[in-house]
Chain A
Amino acid sequence: MMERSNAIFENPPADDVSEQAIYWFALLLDGAETDQDRQAFARWIEADETHRQAFLDIERLWAGTSSLDMSEPARTLGRRAFLGAGLAVGLVGAAGWYGRIIPHHPFADFAASRGERRNITVMPGIQAELASQTSLSLVQNQFGQTGLALHEGEVFIEHDGRQPGFFVQAAGLVTRPREAARFDISHYDAGGDVIAANGSLDVTLNAGHHSILPGQAMSFAPGDMGMPRPVDLAVRLAWRQGKLVFVGDPLAHVATVLQRWQPGKIIVLGEQLKKRPVTLVVNLDRTADILPLMGKALNVEVDQIGRYLTILRAA
């Protein structure tokens, strides 16, 4: 059995029932689930008829693949050409919209589900506020110091100085508060940011090192660090007050961020539209309203396809 806390299962893995069903199906497929997982699954499946149906749908999907061709595309071109002939090409032209569909890191010690903000005490003197779809685990380094691994998402840490060896690692980057500090780290596929609100931070990645002073942010990507730069803390940390603030941000970025906080995917069609600058304040308690409103404000057509997909296109 893989060791992990059952903390994640106290919350459903995603707002979307179908995504929850996928999550459960994938977890149970392995056979390495814990007794707690099994009990949580049993509770979930019995909680609602839609859960049962969603799980059966995924079972059916899986069963449907039992007789299909899974040969390697590159090695069987001739055959694949036959198999693929005349098959429909999917709508999914917007590259990257699959990016954030995985609802959770299933083995995390702490997690916030989609749309949720969550405060936790990690250890004495360390508070963490998790943004939507964030997962964290406790880790120890080779010196026996305890820290956090941010698997994905965004977390705001308040460190009162009682844990001198404390660190946060994300995508190879290690962040250490020098003394008491309040800071924010985000980590998504393409990289992330470290923001110092109060107190200074030391960040290291491979052999590189930077100091981040209060009011500064630094971007990082796997294997790469940017330079510390001034940041508008009120804008950047507005999520903690239940708001998302965008100031002249490209619509594609706005869609990506919104997607982290509400169910379903948002696709922006058209390169021009993706780049269109948007200035907007979103109330996170009312994200359902935001797309229609944004459509009106930006003169953009908003097509909702079921509960899963919203397409924005130029009117």
Chain B
Amino acid sequence: MTQWDINQLFRTYHARLRHFVQKRKLAWYTADDIVQDTFLRVVATPSLPDVKYAQSYLYRTAQNLVVDHFRRERILKFVPDAEKSLEYVASDSPLPDQIVWSRQELRRLQSAINKLPASTREVFVLARLEGKTYAEIGEKLGIPPQTAFSRMVRALTLLRDQTKIDEKN
């Protein structure tokens, strides 16, 4: 495994990533925030893949953040007092404190993801990485969308429980 040179990667990929993010029709400041967030996450992530995967890794992380951004925006529209209720969602800060993860926490979370049962993990990954809906996941896996939903609930519960349990140990 070759070490990641974050500065080098930033120089190489910053503009490309910004273009990639901006194509998703985000305001320029949000695109910049997301690119910045992407690199900050790289810094925080304890177990990076080999540097030869850096490009796809960066794009995938940025894509996840874009999808999350749209999801939050969508939810904000139907929460009347959103700024109060979901304040970090509405925050202008590029990386609000509430979503910063320490390396140790990310290590626990990675461990929890690795331990997800195969069928649960499959649903989680399709939703997380590919942004698929429960209906699409159901179609792909040959299961009812309800089952896909249940497995997502299960995945989130396992991740929550596992990170909490490990935290206590």
By a beta-carbon cutoff of 8 Å, the part of chain A in contact with chain B is 2, 18-19, 22-23, 25-32, 38-39, 41-42, 45-46, 52, 55-70, 73, 79-80, 82-84, 87-92, 98, 101-103, 105-107, 151, 305-306, 308-309
**Knowing A25-B156, A90-B112 touch, does A32 contact B135 (C-beta < 8 A)?**
yes
CB contact between B153 and one of A26, A42, A305 (< 8 Å): that residue = A26
* Contact-residue bracket for chain B: 35 or more
The binding surface of chain A is classed by DSSP as helix
A59 touches B149 (CB 8 A): no
Q: Inside 8 A of A105's CB, which chain B residues have their CB?
A: 146, 150
B149 touches A52 (CB 8 A): no
A66 touches B61 (CB 8 A): yes
**Knowing A42-B79, A46-B85, A308-B164 touch, does A69 contact B156 (C-beta < 8 A)?**
no
Pick from B99, B106, B127, B153 the residue with the most CB of A within 10 Å: B153
A87 touches B133 (CB 8 A): no
Q: Inside 8 A of B106's CB, which chain A residues have their CB?
A: 64, 67-68
B68 interfacial contact with A, CB 8 Å = yes
CB contact between A70 and one of B68, B85, B108, B128 (< 8 Å): that residue = B128
Q: Give Cα A22 to B114, complex, Å.
A: 20
A38 touches B78 (CB 8 A): yes
How many residue pairs bridge A and B at CB < 8 Å? 173
CB contact between A88 and one of B101, B108, B160 (< 8 Å): that residue = B108
B141 interfacial contact with A, CB 8 Å = no
> Taking CB as reference atom, which chain B residue is nearest A19?
B157
| 20 pairs, A vs B, C-beta closer than 8 Å | A2-B145, A26-B149, A29-B127, A30-B127, A42-B79, A46-B80, A62-B68, A62-B128, A66-B68, A68-B106, A69-B110, A69-B113, A70-B124, A70-B129, A82-B47, A83-B110, A92-B165, A98-B157, A98-B158, A107-B146
Q: How far is the CB of A55 from chain B (nearest CB, A)?
A: 7
Q: Inside 8 A of B50's CB, which chain A residues have their CB?
A: 79
Residues 127-169 (chain B) with a chain A CB within 8 angstroms? 127-129, 133-135, 145-146, 149-150, 152-154, 156-166, 168-169
The binding surface of chain B is classed by DSSP as helix
B162 touches A90 (CB 8 A): yes
B157 touches A106 (CB 8 A): no
Q: How far is the CB of B25 from chain A (nearest CB, A)?
A: 17
A52 touches B85 (CB 8 A): yes
Q: Inside 8 A of B20's CB, which chain A residues have their CB?
A: none
> Taking CB as reference atom, which chain A residue is nearest B71?
A29
CB contact between B68 and one of A41, A45, A63 (< 8 Å): that residue = A63
